[in-house]
Chain A
């Protein structure tokens, strides 16, 4: 129990951790090979209520405070599979977040309720081949035609982009406008004209990352999510929680890396003594531990402010910047502690090393985050 976590939180952590140890950990290697997660793991998460932690009870959620979400992210990081974390996280955190906040009652019944149960899986499609962090420049169009919209365009780097049942898609309803022309739509996977291919990647191998094409996809006008022209604002609003979650992923993965590294250093001997006796390695661990502790406390302090409804675009960007940078640094240095074994797949660091590399790219690159922070600090820009 701490300032932030109650006994209830702690017992949730314990039960979630043992669930993950039993249902997830033994299967990760296989899922990494398969390049995707099996459907039944989503159902198991759904049965346990894990997709509905912060969702309203009337849709099957548990309506818990946001610290449960922090625990969710921290524990997921201990599975050492960025791909698993991405897929199992993108569904509730990205897709369901938009349905919860912007969806109509009908949309909530159709997507949120089965989403929380884990029987329908979603994804959020923003990035395009020529528009990543620059959300305003997306080219996928949604043109009104009677009671329908006709969608044309393509998306890429979409987590759950191949296997999900529905897609929350960012489109231009007014292609002549920038941010103000952006709207969100829910598109069912089986709608004619939707096609997707798997992308092969450096890491995150247990998740399906898709390139998606929309070829004259016709959807009912009622599939618009929220109001027309408001999509950019919705996206920006939810970036804060996404970035905080990625910051948590950064320090939590780093903590786990230190844990397995210390264990190895206590077993491995060189020159007649355990390698955890070598001062230069000890100081490296000390330095990393200090930085991890700082980023962790920084994130906790931000969640406490977020819970009070504070506006934290700048601070969440700072946290994501530091958390993901730290994870890269930690994995590089921890891999080194393992020597040749660090490079081998049978030891945990190889996967950590490649998986963590996406942290500084996805969800806003470090460079974009610096842009946001600099605009706030130097130009007094606010996204409120």
Chain B
């Protein structure tokens, strides 16, 4: 028992582990070869009560605390099959939380009991051939036509997209708007016009990954999750969970690799002694084990924050970055311990080696993680969101430009006091900045509610005024946040992603703010 796990958690772990060792692990080789995992394993897991751990009881869930989910993911990580693990990780933690959090009662009743009983499998359709981490630029459209949407477009790299039952699909209900035009819509796999092509992959062999095309798919309006135009925010809210669940599984995957390596090293002899007596190999184990141990402590810390309803974007991004990178290192070095056997499919390292490779790509690549961390650490904006409330933003820390390296876990001070500057002063300040850059070519309006500032860039230069026209792009925010934007204390991208600043209209125009205010 530890600080995080009670006896009940450990009992749950034992029963799940015993189940997986009996019902899953002996078959995984076959499933990997078949390039799919059969439905009945999910049904068995559902029957055992292993699915829907933290989903509410009214939908068949168990209403358990988040550390059951941690156990669940840790045990999936020990199966040494990324393909096996990902099916339920996607269904339970990436796709269906959107329905649970934002869906209508009807949608919840229709889909959640099935994913909890193991009868249904779902996917989340974000990525398109031309838009990966950049969700606001997706091209798939859903145009309303009476009581239906007509969906056209395509998605790719969709886990569960071939053999799953439904797709939580990211669509543009307003193709002209950027992030503000994004909505989430449930498409069923069997709907007319939905077709899937199964993709061949380097690893994750027991899971199905699809390229999906939508050809005039008629989707009932009631399949819309939440509100139109809010999809981007729903997605952003789910990202931290998606990143976080990868971490416990990565930790135990590494632990398992070290475990099987130590076993092999105690049996295998070279030059007359077991290879676990060779100092250079021993030290490599010591180094890896240390890094895994540290990662594990970090994983629990991040999971505990999440369990306490705190979304910490910085910590989740850091954890995902470190966990997936460590997996690659551990897989590479442990494979080496096995020598030629490491390269053979009858030993476990070959599969781990290819499976971990997607870790630093999926769910936000390592480069994207570093971008996010850099924005928080260097540009000085760190947001922590209470999980339960939809829009409330708690500003964790206001730091001086340049930020500082101090821990987020320390006391943050309240936001800096904004002097009450008159609107004319603001206009003057903006005019000088706006004059220094090329004309925007469009009109951009900042809406503070009672007052507005408009930049008209349709002429030869940018003219700033307090007029209130219909602009190509309207940015709604508080005056205080506007000051922070202008003074470089609020990163526009972060502010949009967190919902602190709302944008209607031309998202591309809004993105030019970065250059205007940096």
Contacts and interface: CB of A to CB of B under 8 A. Distances in A.
Interface in A173-216: none
Interface in A275-306: 276-277, 282-283, 285-287, 289-298, 300-302, 304
B402 A266 contact: yes
A292 B377 CA distance: 12
Nearest to B323: A294
A90 interface: no
Given A282-B378, A322-B290, A262 B518 contact: no
A263 interface: yes
Given A262-B377, A298-B298, A318-B290, A374 B407 contact: no
Contacts of B317: 290
Interface residues of B, number: 48
Contacts of B406: 255, 259
A372 B290 CA distance: 12
A265 B286 contact: no
B460 interface: no
B3 interface: yes
B100 interface: no
B257 to A, nearest CB: 13
Interface string B1-25: 0010000000000000000000000
Contacts of A377: 262, 285-286, 289
B287 A291 contact: no
Given A287-B370, A297-B298, A301-B300, A322 B291 contact: yes
Interface in B251-278: 262, 265-266, 276
Q: Do most interface residues of chain B lie in helix, strand or loop, or is the interface mixed?
A: helix
Contacts of B304: 3
Contact of B283 (A267, A291, A367): A367
A379 to B, nearest CB: 8
B377 A285 contact: yes
A262 B410 CA distance: 18
Interface string A321-345: 1100000000000000000000000
A261 B289 CA distance: 31
A349 B411 CA distance: 27
A113 interface: no
A283 B298 CA distance: 20
A283 B371 CA distance: 7
A322 B294 contact: yes
A14 to B, nearest CB: 10
Interface centre among B286, B295, B406, B410 (most CB of A within 10 A): B286
A300 B407 CA distance: 13
A10 B318 contact: no
Nearest to A292: B405
B215 interface: no
A276 B402 contact: yes
B170 interface: no
Interface residues of A, number: 52
A265 B287 contact: no
Contacts, number: 139
A321 B290 CA distance: 8
A373 B317 CA distance: 29
A374 B286 contact: yes
Contacts of A10: 410-411
A370 B410 CA distance: 32
B282 A256 contact: no
Interface in A1-41: 1-3, 5, 10
Interface in A49-71: none
Contacts of B377: 258, 262, 285-286, 289
Given A265-B378, A282-B370, A373-B289, A318 B294 contact: yes
Interface centre among A2, A10, A255, A374 (most CB of B within 10 A): A374
Nearest to B292: A318
B402 A290 contact: no
A262 B291 contact: no
B153 interface: no
Contact of A289 (B285, B286, B294, B405): B405
Given A285-B378, A296-B407, A378 B294 contact: no
B409 interface: yes
Interface of A: 1-3, 5, 10, 255-259, 261-263, 265-267, 276-277, 282-283, 285-287, 289-298, 300-302, 304, 315, 317-319, 321-322, 367, 369-374, 377-378
18 contacts: A10-B410, A255-B405, A266-B403, A277-B518, A282-B370, A282-B371, A286-B370, A286-B371, A287-B370, A290-B317, A294-B322, A297-B298, A317-B290, A322-B294, A373-B286, A373-B290, A377-B289, A378-B266
Given A255-B407, A258-B405, A294-B319, 10 more contacts: A283-B367, A285-B378, A290-B373, A293-B407, A294-B294, A294-B298, A297-B297, A301-B297, A318-B290, A378-B285
